[in-house]
Chain A
């Protein structure tokens, strides 16, 4: 940091003129079936500048960078490299144009040495080992790091492996370096080393695009911060402002941009906000607990945070929000409650009875339901019919199966009723589920989970990726269920949604419970503080 401060103070006058755009993305739009991943995004990376791209998972950061690195082609929009329009149709082309990318997950081959990994892309018949050594020494010097060319890559610390990834990305003389969530696997010390490397890269005139969802990193490491939300660029913080404001002010500002309150100009959000009339009136809730988590811990998947010591009492008919930046243990929490993830410690009680060791099916039978956020990946079987998908959690049970034999009549009748009740738009109940739109698939999921007397429902990002109308329908459904005494755990990264729906909001940070906030005026700010506070601390 001090180094960058020094360079700016000495070169302040000529700076504006010296910084030319290395790469310009102009009006990029990219749609996938059912979702617009990037909508008219314009982003300019200047030489000698770290440009932070901030946004939730699914905000379109990765799509945008995959377009720049040649993995995807945009539907519309232009890309300029060094001022000249280019077409990047392959990763090889991107490299030729001087765009290097460091992916979130390692692309190194652990059994090869450092030098071998770097020479993997070499062309020509004979490997130029001596040249490679010289190039490695040159780049290591430029980054200010020490790398043993003959070390076996798998034995290096993660931070060193990442430095090697950066060297690999710069191997062919890249002028633009894209780092995708580079700190997600690093220790605090590794992060500090990375920051030092970035400073040196800037000094050499490289343009760095730094993708992250951590606010404090964006503020600390970035010269310029652009914020993506739902595929759109919703805000940019210029270098001048970044230097002028304190980190706390900046983070607060970014939270406002990311989570609403300052986004009235976006029509969709505005429409939603009209439906939020102040805050929910305090409801009278019975004092008995519907579901209770007692010191629950569970391991995360490889490279993901688990959950640690979470205690959460939820009352009958209560809507408990679970807030937090994506990837802070939300999915693990939901799976632990649903029974898909074994507990490492602690206990879960449903209506006072422990269910910690019960199977997924047994918990389902007791009325514990899980509306997963991965609708196609685990929530449904897309090549089966809508009707079958509606009973997939009841395979083999009467009245849909008798003595193991399917009863089409019963399944169809159930399907027709649910399709009507939940307003699923489908040509017929026999239609393959995969041909429906995302919103209708979500309705199928809700219909399945909310049938057969639910008692406690875990909703994981229930409105993620849905259009405004369906979003409203889903929220209305959650409220209506709560009125009937069905308890809800609503996991969402959308703070407005939680404020709109919940009685209380629990905040997850790095797999731990950062606090529980009653949904009163000002709750959003406190939740935001809890989210940020922990992030800064870590």
Chain B
């Protein structure tokens, strides 16, 4: 009797002082890889004979302090934030939607192809709203096949979404070279261009289009849904413990279909923001490949829709400022990818060490990690 009481109180005691430590762990895990990546990037720059101080200074200048730097960075952040929102919805439910680029590009091309005629036929505001919804619908539809196969036949959605991306990118190019091709423009196939004045309105006094507002609202909504609603709890339960979801009587198949569709919709929105806000058209073989850059950020933020904002902001600044810095340092502007790669590398190292020394929690939820392990053939 006293024995059980003793173990109970010991357990209670052990549970409490973890609080502060857990916070520190979270900080180390989230910020650590980014800092280490920047340091390692500096070492690489030095090895290439560039001054890292100058390079990072140029990034800050290009992405923040220079004339339009800050505005450019905010514009770049809009689609990235929407993609992050879309990823959080599925990752929380233990579903790997890695078909981001296919969903994004297909939604973007269809929106670009339809934009001009629709805008001619309808008032500008209504046309923009419809185009926005169309992009969401296309993104959602492109998740249907992987979602259905996963929900009803348990087919690994990592593979199906990646394959759907391959198909999606090619179908998008088919559209550009076929029905949506604007023959009046250059010899590189492209869609017709939505005139600048008919694109998304800018925030007053800036060049920043309204997409950033939609993105931030989307993140707040996703955060609210994931933390305060029954739908969010269902997704969290499914993600944390799929067997428990069955035991609790959740309709797992429907949850998979819906979370996939919402994810595709938000990624479609990202495409709408980029096309209707920045480009106005899509040229053949254009692919910003935002998807896999956002994935590590979402995990650094522990699938928290608010916490992901600073990470995306950092990435946006790196991406905009990186152009200037790379140009001045006479490096290819893919150097950003090197930094993202380094972040991933250090995340992996932190994860490995963390497992070894029980350093806080994993980047992945328990469900995601186990599903990965299962798929790795264990």
Query: In residues 103-147 of chain B, which contact A (Cβ within 8 Å)?
Result: none
Q: In the complex, which residues of chain B have a beta carbon less than 8 angstroms from the beta carbon of A401?
A: 229-230
CA distance A374 to B250 in the complex (A): 18
Q: Is the CB of A427 within 8 A of B250?
A: no
Query: In residues 1-56 of chain B, which contact A (Cβ within 8 Å)?
Result: 1, 3-4, 7-8, 11-12, 14-16
Q: In the complex, which residues of chain B have a beta carbon less than 8 angstroms from the beta carbon of A439?
A: 4
Q: In the complex, which residues of chain A have a beta carbon less than 8 angstroms from the beta carbon of B244?
A: 377-381, 392
- Nearest-Cβ distance from residue A71 to partner chain B, whole angstroms: 15
CA distance A363 to B12 in the complex (A): 36
Q: In the complex, which residues of chain B have a beta carbon less than 8 angstroms from the beta carbon of A382?
A: 240-241
CA distance A377 to B3 in the complex (A): 26
Q: Is B356 an interface residue (CB 8 A)?
A: no
CA distance A340 to B248 in the complex (A): 9
Q: Is the CB of B4 within 8 A of A395?
A: no
CA distance A66 to B313 in the complex (A): 50
Q: In the complex, which residues of chain A have a beta carbon less than 8 angstroms from the beta carbon of B3?
A: 467
Out of A339, A370, A380, A435, name the residue touching B11 (CB < 8 Å): A435
Query: In residues 455-470 of chain A, which contact B (Cβ within 8 Å)?
Result: 467, 469-470
Q: Is B290 an interface residue (CB 8 A)?
A: no
Q: Is B179 an interface residue (CB 8 A)?
A: no
Query: In residues 348-379 of chain A, which contact B (Cβ within 8 Å)?
Result: 359-364, 370, 372, 374, 377-379
Q: Which chain B residue has the least Cβ–Cβ distance from A395?
A: B230
Q: In the complex, which residues of chain A have a beta carbon less than 8 angstroms from the beta carbon of B231?
A: 396, 404
Q: Is B233 an interface residue (CB 8 A)?
A: yes
Out of A370, A405, A432, A470, name the residue touching B229 (CB < 8 Å): A405
Q: Is the CB of A404 within 8 A of B4?
A: no
- Nearest-Cβ distance from residue A514 to partner chain B, whole angstroms: 28
Q: In the complex, which residues of chain B have a beta carbon less than 8 angstroms from the beta carbon of A427?
A: 12, 15-16
Q: In the complex, which residues of chain B have a beta carbon less than 8 angstroms from the beta carbon of A405?
A: 228-230
Q: Is B249 an interface residue (CB 8 A)?
A: yes
Contacts A427-B16, A435-B11; A395 near B241 (Cβ below 8 A): no
- Nearest-Cβ distance from residue A142 to partner chain B, whole angstroms: 33
Q: Is A388 an interface residue (CB 8 A)?
A: yes
CA distance A427 to B16 in the complex (A): 9
CA distance A65 to B241 in the complex (A): 29
Out of B4, B15, B234, B246, name the residue touching A378 (CB < 8 Å): B246
Contacts A378-B247, A404-B231, A406-B233; A383 near B240 (Cβ below 8 A): yes
Q: Is the CB of B7 within 8 A of A395?
A: no
Contacts A340-B247, A396-B230, A469-B1; A435 near B15 (Cβ below 8 A): yes
CA distance A223 to B1 in the complex (A): 40
Q: Is the CB of A377 within 8 A of B243?
A: yes
CA distance A247 to B366 in the complex (A): 48
Contacts A379-B247, A436-B11, A439-B4; A384 near B240 (Cβ below 8 A): yes
Q: Is the CB of A381 within 8 A of B241?
A: yes
Q: In the complex, which residues of chain B have a beta carbon less than 8 angstroms from the beta carbon of A378?
A: 241, 243-244, 246-247
Q: Is B237 an interface residue (CB 8 A)?
A: yes
CA distance A436 to B8 in the complex (A): 8
Q: Is the CB of A359 within 8 A of B240?
A: no
Q: Is A416 an interface residue (CB 8 A)?
A: no
Q: Is A393 an interface residue (CB 8 A)?
A: yes
- Nearest-Cβ distance from residue B305 to partner chain A, whole angstroms: 16
Q: In the complex, which residues of chain A have a beta carbon less than 8 angstroms from the beta carbon of B8?
A: 425, 437, 440
Q: In the complex, which residues of chain B have a beta carbon less than 8 angstroms from the beta carbon of A414?
A: none
Q: In the complex, which residues of chain B have a beta carbon less than 8 angstroms from the beta carbon of A396?
A: 230-231, 234
Q: Which chain A residue has the least Cβ–Cβ distance from B242?
A: A378
Q: Is the CB of A404 within 8 A of B230?
A: yes
Q: In the complex, which residues of chain B have a beta carbon less than 8 angstroms from the beta carbon of A370?
A: 247
Q: In the complex, which residues of chain B have a beta carbon less than 8 angstroms from the beta carbon of A160?
A: none
Query: In residues 297-325 of chain A, which contact B (Cβ within 8 Å)?
Result: none
CA distance A381 to B250 in the complex (A): 14
Q: In the complex, which residues of chain B have a beta carbon less than 8 angstroms from the beta carbon of A440?
A: 8
Q: Is the CB of B247 within 8 A of A395?
A: no
Q: In the complex, which residues of chain B have a beta carbon less than 8 angstroms from the beta carbon of A431?
A: 15
CA distance A363 to B3 in the complex (A): 40
Q: Which chain A residue has the least Cβ–Cβ distance from B246?
A: A340
- Nearest-Cβ distance from residue A448 to partner chain B, whole angstroms: 10
Q: In the complex, which residues of chain A have a beta carbon less than 8 angstroms from the beta carbon of B4?
A: 437, 439, 467, 469-470
- Nearest-Cβ distance from residue A384 to partner chain B, whole angstroms: 7
Interface centre among B8, B228, B233, B250 (most CB of A within 10 A): B233
CA distance A339 to B251 in the complex (A): 12
- Nearest-Cβ distance from residue A27 to partner chain B, whole angstroms: 20
Q: Is the CB of A393 within 8 A of B230?
A: no
Q: In the complex, which residues of chain A have a beta carbon less than 8 angstroms from the beta carbon of B230?
A: 395-396, 401, 404-406
CA distance A183 to B7 in the complex (A): 39
Q: Is the CB of A406 within 8 A of B229?
A: yes
Contacts A404-B230, A469-B4; A437 near B247 (Cβ below 8 A): no
Q: Mark B210-243, 1 if CB is under 8 A from A, else 0.
A: 0000000000000000001111011011001101
Q: Which chain A residue has the least Cβ–Cβ distance from B238?
A: A381
CA distance A412 to B240 in the complex (A): 22
Q: Is the CB of B233 within 8 A of A437?
A: no
- Nearest-Cβ distance from residue B253 to partner chain A, whole angstroms: 11
- Nearest-Cβ distance from residue A20 to partner chain B, whole angstroms: 39
Out of A339, A362, A363, A381, name the residue touching B240 (CB < 8 Å): A381
Q: Is the CB of B15 within 8 A of A392?
A: no
CA distance A128 to B233 in the complex (A): 57
CA distance A425 to B1 in the complex (A): 14
CA distance A404 to B232 in the complex (A): 9
Q: Which chain A residue has the least Cβ–Cβ distance from B241?
A: A381
Out of A372, A406, A435, A467, name the residue touching B228 (CB < 8 Å): A406
Q: In the complex, which residues of chain B have a beta carbon less than 8 angstroms from the beta carbon of A384?
A: 236-237, 240
- Nearest-Cβ distance from residue A386 to partner chain B, whole angstroms: 12
Q: Is the CB of A383 within 8 A of B237?
A: no
Interface centre among A339, A363, A404 (most CB of B within 10 A): A404
Query: In residues 391-414 of chain A, which contact B (Cβ within 8 Å)?
Result: 392-393, 395-396, 401, 404-406
- Nearest-Cβ distance from residue A94 to partner chain B, whole angstroms: 21
- Nearest-Cβ distance from residue B153 to partner chain A, whole angstroms: 16
CA distance A401 to B225 in the complex (A): 13
CA distance A405 to B228 in the complex (A): 6
Q: Is the CB of B249 within 8 A of A393?
A: yes
Q: Is the CB of B229 within 8 A of A437?
A: no
Q: In the complex, which residues of chain A have a beta carbon less than 8 angstroms from the beta carbon of B240?
A: 381-384
Q: Which chain A residue has the least Cβ–Cβ distance from B10?
A: A437
Out of B11, B228, B229, B249, name the residue touching A359 (CB < 8 Å): B249
- Nearest-Cβ distance from residue B229 to partner chain A, whole angstroms: 5
- Nearest-Cβ distance from residue B151 to partner chain A, whole angstroms: 16
17 contacts between A and B (CB under 8 A): A340-B247, A361-B250, A377-B244, A378-B241, A381-B236, A382-B241, A384-B236, A396-B230, A401-B229, A404-B231, A406-B229, A435-B11, A437-B4, A437-B8, A437-B11, A439-B4, A440-B8
Per CB-CB distance, the 5 closest pairs between chain A and chain B, nearest first, are: A361-B249, A360-B249, A396-B230, A378-B243, A435-B15
Known: A435-B15, A469-B1. 5 other contacts (CB 8 A): A384-B240, A388-B233, A393-B249, A401-B230, A435-B14
